[in-house]
A and B are shown apart, each in its own frame.
Chain A
C-alpha cells in the first residue's frame, strides 16, 4: 500500500455526495475536530476542480501542518500538491523541495517536482509568447502612430 498518493490522484475529483459526507463529518466534530477528519475533508477539497474548494483545502492542510507536528512531513507533500493544483508553483516547489531534501528517495515527491518544472516551463513559454506578441503589436501600433504623426507634420 502506498503511503502517499501520486499527483494524478489529486486530479480525480470526488463526486459532490462524497465530498458532502466528508464535510458533514468535519462539521460534526466542530472545534474538537480530529486530524484525520480534517485531513479527509481537506484532501477531498484539494481533489475538487473548484478553485475555492482547493483554496479551503490548502488552508486546512496548513492548519494541520501548524497544529500537529507529527504530521508535518506528510503535510509538506499535500501542501505542495495542493499549491500545484492551485497553480502556485512557487509555493509548491518550496514545499516539495523541502520534502525532497528530507526524503530524497520519495517517488511521489520526485514525480511532483518534475510536474511542477514542466508546468512552469510550459506556462512560462506561453507567457513569453504572449508578452512578445503584445510587444510586437505595441511596436507595430507605435510605428504606425509615429508614421501618422510624421505624416501630419
Chain B
C-alpha cells in the first residue's frame, strides 16, 4: 500500500509539470526531455551516479542512430524507447529499484572479453533442463525403451521403409543425446574449474585472516605484558601502603615531642624498613617469576593450529653439539634442551630465546621431562635432578620490547647460525629443587607423573621414587624379573632374550619408560616391552616383537607405541597385549612421540617421519625437505617431541627446529 501511495504522490508532484509540457505546443521532444530531467532528479539518489551520463549518452546516441532508419521510425527519433516504458521507468519506485539492481555500469560493458567457452549458457540450460524435470526423466526413459523396441523391430523386419525411417530418427535422437552428453561433460569440467577458483579465493581469504590472527595474538601478548606490569606495580604499591600502615601503628607509641625530634630519624627508619622489605618483594623469585607463568595461561596461542602442516615456526641453534634430550610444556611455552656439550638450556618458545642454563649436572643429561613447571633431568652422572622452572628470573617480554637494554639482543634467534646469546648468569640459580641419588650408573630414561617418578639406568635397574618424600620407594631389577619369568614359564616368554645381532654396546639397557599410577611400561635393550605393576613390583605382561633394543615408548589408555633400533614402530593393544599395527623405516628409530592425531619419529634422517593416524598417511616434516631444494643437508634429527600438533626436533648439530604438524 505504501508503494501505491508513493506512486500517487509522485504523480501528484509531477502533475503540473506533465500537464504543462503536454499542453504546450513545443511538441514531444520537449516532453521527453522534461520527463527525463525530472525523473533523473528523482532517481538520482537511488541509483548510482553513472545513470546521468548514461541517459545523456543514450539520448545523444538515439539521435545519431535513429537518423538513418525508415521514415516511420524517424517520426520518434527523439525517443529511444516508448513513452510507456519511459513513464514506467521513471515513476514506479519498484521499477526504479529493480532497474538500479540490474543496472550494468558502463565500464563493465566496455570490458567484455572474447569468450572461449566450450558451450553456451543456453546449451547448458538445454542440456541440464531435461534432467531437472520429471518430464525429462520420462522422456529419457521413453527413449531408451524406444531403443529396445526399435531393436526388436529391426530384428523382425529389417528392410521395411518404416524401420529405416525409425532408425534414422533414432540415430538423430541419439546424436542429439551424444551432443547433450558432450555439453554436460563440459559443464561438469567448467564447474570444477569454477570451484577451483573459489578454493583459490578462499585460500587467499584464509591467509588474510591468518595474518589478522597473528596480529591479534601479538596484541594480546603486548596487552598481557602491560597487565603484568600493572600487576607488579600494584603489588609494590600495596606493599608500600602496608608498610606505611605498620609504621603508622608504631609511631603513636612515641610522644609528640619525640616524634618531632625524631622526624629525620623516622624518615630514615621508614626508608630503611622499606629498603629491607622491598628487595625480597622486587627481587623475590616466586612472586615475580610466577607472574609470567600465570599470565601465559590467560590466553592460549592457537595460531600454529591454523598453519599448514609442515610449516616451520622457528629454528634456533640451541647447542654446539648433538642434542641428547629435549621436552617442552606446551605450544609456545617453555622448552628444555640437553646436549652432548653437557649443558641444559631453558628456552622461551614464544620469543625463541634462551631463558637460562641449568647448572648442577656434572655430566651430560641423557633424558629429561617437563610437566607444568617441574623439570626432571637424568644424566650420565647417575643423578636425577628436579627443577622448578617457575623460579627463573625471566621477563618474557622485557627485552622483546626493548625495555631492558642489556637483554636487547635476545630476539636475535631467527638465524639459526647465530651464536646463542647468553642469558644473564644466575637467572636459573633458584630453580634447583632436589637431587635423587641412588643409581650407580648413568640414567638413560625417566618419566614422572604426579608424585611418582621412575628412572631406568645402565646399572640394569629401574627405581621408583616418591617425589613428595623425595626418596626411592622400590628398586626393580630387570634381570631378576627376566630370570623369574624364565624360571616360572617354561616357554621362556619374558626371559631376557639375546637379540639376534651382536649386543649393541651403544644401546641403552633401559631405553624408555612411562608410568601411570601403578602401571609402568619399560622398553629394554633386548627388544622386550615389560608392563610392571608397581604395587607388587612384578612384571605382569611382556610384549615380544621387537628384534632390536627399544629406544622409545608411549602409551595412552588404549594403545602402547614403541620404537626400536630394529627400525620398526609397533603399536600394541594394551587390553589384549597383541600387536595392533606396525610399520618400519629405513633406519633405527631414536625417538618417537604421539599426540591425538600423529605419531612422529626421528628415524636417522634429516626429516621427522610423521604418521597421520586419522588419515593413515605417512609424510615427512622438517628441514630436510626445504634443504633438498636448496642443496643443503641439515643434520640428522636425533630427538623429537610433539604436543597438540606443535612439534620440536633436535638435531645432531645442536639446532632445534619448531614445526606445525
Contacts and interface: CB of A to CB of B under 8 A. Distances in A.
B253 interface: no
Contacts of A43: 121-122, 125
A148 interface: no
Interface in A93-144: 93-95, 97-98, 102, 117, 119-121, 123-125, 127-128, 131, 134-135, 138
Interface stretch (B128-136, B413-421, B458-466, B551-559): B128-136
A91 B122 CA distance: 21
Contacts of A3: 120, 122-123
A94 B190 CA distance: 30
Given A43-B122, A70-B117, 8 more contacts: A39-B125, A55-B102, A72-B111, A74-B120, A89-B82, A93-B81, A124-B75, A127-B82
20 contacts: A5-B122, A17-B133, A17-B134, A18-B132, A32-B198, A35-B194, A36-B187, A39-B124, A39-B125, A58-B98, A70-B117, A71-B115, A71-B117, A72-B115, A119-B82, A121-B73, A124-B75, A124-B79, A131-B28, A135-B23
Interface in B88-144: 88-89, 98-99, 101-104, 108-109, 111-117, 120-126, 128-129, 132-135
B82 A120 contact: yes
A147 interface: no
A73 B99 contact: no
Nearest 5 CB-CB pairings of A with B: A123-B82, A127-B83, A89-B81, A90-B81, A124-B76
Contacts of B160: none
Contacts of A69: 111-113
A153 B138 CA distance: 83
A22 interface: yes
Given A1-B179, A36-B121, A131-B22, A121 B108 contact: no
A145 interface: no
A59 interface: yes
A15 B129 CA distance: 13
B69 interface: yes
B80 interface: yes
A63 B113 CA distance: 16
A21 B23 contact: no
B72 interface: yes
A2 B79 contact: no
A95 B112 CA distance: 12
Contact of A65 (B79, B83, B108, B117): B108
A39 B125 CA distance: 8
Given A62-B102, A88-B85, A74 B115 contact: yes
B104 A89 contact: no
Contacts of B75: 121, 124-125
Contacts of A7: none
Contact of A2 (B81, B121, B122): B122
Contacts of A4: 120, 122
A120 B81 contact: yes
B80 A62 contact: no
B83 A123 contact: yes
Interface in B467-487: none
For chain A, the bracket of interface size reads: 35 or more
Contacts, number: 155
Contacts of B28: 128, 131
Interface in B310-355: none
B241 interface: no
A87 B194 contact: no
B129 A124 contact: no
A87 B88 contact: yes
B73 A117 contact: yes
Contact of B98 (A32, A59, A135): A59
Contacts of B84: 87, 123, 127
A44 to B, nearest CB: 8
Contact of B129 (A40, A72, A87): A40
A40 B80 contact: no
Among B31, B83, B121, find the residue whose CB has the most chain A CB atoms closer than 10 A: B121
Contacts of A88: 81, 85, 89, 99
Contacts of B76: 120-121, 124-125, 128
Contacts of A79: 102, 104
A66 B108 contact: yes
Contacts of B129: 18, 22, 40
Nearest to B132: A21
A39 B129 CA distance: 11
Contacts of B135: 18
B187 A61 contact: no
Interface in B54-95: 58, 65, 69, 72-73, 75-76, 79-86, 88-89
Contacts of A128: 28, 76
Given A73-B112, A120-B76, A1 B123 contact: yes
B191 interface: yes
A40 B125 contact: yes
Nearest to A88: B85
Nearest to A91: B99
B132 A25 contact: yes
A146 to B, nearest CB: 14
B83 A74 contact: no
Contacts of B109: 95, 98
A62 B23 contact: no
Contacts of A55: 98, 102
A34 B194 CA distance: 8
Contacts of B133: 17-18, 21
B205 to A, nearest CB: 13
A131 B25 CA distance: 12
A90 to B, nearest CB: 4
A1 B120 CA distance: 10
Contact of B58 (A76, A94, A117, A134): A94
Contacts of A40: 124-125, 128-129, 132
A92 B98 CA distance: 15
A73 B115 contact: yes
Among A4, A36, A98, A134, find the residue whose CB has the most chain B CB atoms closer than 10 A: A36
Contacts of A127: 82-84
A121 to B, nearest CB: 5
Interface string A24-65: 010000001011100110010000000000010011011001
Interface string B21-47: 011000010010000000000000000
A90 B85 contact: yes
Contacts of B99: 88, 91
B113 A87 contact: no
A66 B102 CA distance: 10
A22 B99 CA distance: 24
Among B81, B86, B114, find the residue whose CB has the most chain A CB atoms closer than 10 A: B81
B120 A89 contact: no
Contacts of B194: 34-35
B102 A61 contact: yes
Contacts of B121: 35-36, 39, 43, 71, 74-75, 78
B104 A66 contact: yes
Given A36-B121, A43-B125, A76 B112 contact: yes
A36 B109 CA distance: 21
A136 B89 CA distance: 26
Contacts of A117: 69, 73
